[in-house]
Chains A and B, each alone.
Chain A
Amino acid sequence: MVPKPEEVTLDPETKTLDRANAENVLNPPDKNALETALRLKEAHGGTVTLISMGPPLFRKYLELCLGMGADRAILLSDRTFAGADTYPTSLTLAKGIQKLKTCDLVICGEESSDASTAQVPPGLAEWLDMSLVTFADEVAVHGNTVRARRTLGSSYEILEADMPAVVSVVVGSNEPRFPDFDRVEEAAGSDWVQVWAAADLGLKEEDIGLKGSYTIVHELVEGEPVERKREFLEGGMEEKVKALAKALEPFLEA
């Protein structure tokens, strides 16, 4: 879950982020990750478990994802998780995954649209000692390996990784299905969602959240705003076309 980036503002006095008024949405590439998991389940069987670290309000998003067809969900939620950078985030998620006992594939989104670090998937591969494929747009399973097409800007490579593996999936790589609302309703408040706290994961306070983070926000500053003229062309279609042609003219002579 991430706040819609356009709706987060900087409080000019406290220099902190104001996310309170921002609407939350599912992180878009994570929907593609879930769709990837559901298709692999359809092809090979198995179960799809959702795992997310976040506040209790994330539950309703997990219920939506259960409605898309996931089998169960684990919400890692504890006040001491707050303020985590990617180091304790990946550690906490890794502990949760280890507690599941069996896991062949950990499928993530390429990056979160608020932090945009893309560091959690490689971090997970390290903590879990699994193989890693990042930025995949096609994922298939063959025996004990996962085959994926990894995008590299305009280039790509085909990778074969031993399982268990962590795979991150790029946004737009498939068409995520719509949730089945009967199933969402069934999931609501049910024990399909379990909540685990730090103690359930055997994590100590100094290893998680803000305390377990190596990066520190020194300060928040307003970005240099790009000054644009925001000049609206007036009038009807004909006038707009003429004015637009005129606006383009200096560039024609360049």
Chain B
Amino acid sequence: MNVPGELQADLYKGFWVYMEQEEGRLLPVGLELLGKGRELADEMGEVLTAVILGQDIAALGEEALRYGADEVLLADHPLLTGFNTDAYTKVMADIIEARKPNVLLMGATFNGRDLAGRLAVRLSTGLTAHVTRLEVDKESSLLLSAVPGFGGSILAVIKTEFGRPQMSTVSPGIFKPLEPDDVRRGKVERVDVRLRQSDIRCRVLEREVVPAEDIGSAERIIVAGMGTGGDMKLVDDLAAALHASTGVTRPLVDIGVAPREKQVGSTGVSLRSKLVVVLGASGASHFVAGLRDADTVIALNKDKEAPIFDESDVCVVGDIFEILPRLLEELEGKVMVV
């Protein structure tokens, strides 16, 4: 084991962004990290490198250059077509051990978190999860990664002093990609992939990628909690009257009332909506984490002590099943013209 302190940190150079691809397309979070990575790499005086694993991914390398990378490393191999935890961990660990980057950022997606968690132990280094703010420490030039705890009321600023690369997984939707620059050029290098079938102990038998509705960017949204009793009819009616999308709290997904893509919260979607109407949700910290970037929050709950009211602009104490039918009548005739 690599005991903290043994490491010669100055051997580690380069600012890397791992770009996750799915079905041959780069996920937005990778482009967002290249945007932020550009700024931080310049501040640290590091080269910004995009790393992409997959099969037939040359075009993705060019795309990463347009979005700000100085250079790209491509690991192109039939066993890397889709995410496989064993194959991806081995290939990433090999590249990192050979080239010794100083920083490695990854998206805090399901696959990104799986891979990052293994790499940190395999490489003996520090990993910070679900980061929402990144900066460079002026004194030490170390990466400072801020993590919201407990519903965002507290931010812990974390650094890795001993251990390289300094690793963080970053939540999707936090940073903005750069405008693509079509004339930007850079080196695209193919790395050697040493991978055998026997390296793979966990096999993907079936994969179903459902193109998901992105409720995060809905202008107006009605979010149902358990207080609706899973009765989506009233919710849908209100959504129709307001030309709004619909979302739900996690327990409604768990009982099968709505698909996972409609879940709002820390393990679901963060809303950037102008209007969010929350119906019968208690306001658990995991849920309200998804409301932080919304403009106006209106909440309806029969319990006047419900924590959701601390997170709302307009608070309505009352029973959904009494108020909504009357509200729908009231709204009739005021229905907007789009």
Contacts and interface: CB of A to CB of B under 8 A. Distances in A.
Contact of A218 (B154, B159, B255, B314): B159
A244 B129 contact: no
A171 B253 CA distance: 11
Nearest to A126: B121
A10 B159 contact: no
Interface stretch (B28-36, B55-63, B325-333): B325-333
A126 B155 CA distance: 29
A84 interface: no
Nearest to A129: B201
Nearest to B1: A207
Given A152-B111, A218-B144, A157 B120 contact: no
User: Chain A: interface residue count, which band?
Assistant: 35 or more
Given A10-B154, A173-B254, A135 B110 contact: yes
A249 B163 CA distance: 55
Interface string A142-179: 00000100111111111111100100000111000000
A231 B330 contact: no
Residue of B121, B154, B205, B260 with most partner-chain A CB within 10 A: B121
Interface string A195-211: 00000000000110001
Interface in B310-331: 310-318, 322-323, 326-327, 330-331
A134 B242 contact: no
Interface string A236-254: 0110111011011101111
B117 interface: yes
A113 B266 CA distance: 10
A117 B300 CA distance: 32
B275 interface: yes
B85 interface: yes
Contact of B334 (A113, A247, A252): A252
Interface in B184-220: 201-210, 212, 219-220
Interface size class of B (residues with CB under 8 A): 35 or more
Contact of A215 (B148, B158, B251, B304): B158
Given A151-B260, A241-B327, A254-B336, A121 B157 contact: no
Q: Mostly helix, strand, loop or mixed at chain A's interface?
A: mixed
B149 interface: yes
Contacts of A118: 113, 117, 129
A221 B157 contact: yes
Given A90-B121, A134-B113, A172-B251, A225 B316 contact: no
A36 B207 CA distance: 23
Given A215-B127, A248-B331, A123 B336 contact: no
Interface string A216-234: 1111111101101111110
The 8 A-B pairs at the shortest CB distance, nearest first, are namely A122-B117, A172-B254, A214-B126, A154-B261, A117-B129, A214-B163, A161-B202, A131-B201
7 contacts: A6-B285, A159-B204, A214-B161, A216-B126, A240-B323, A244-B316, A245-B331
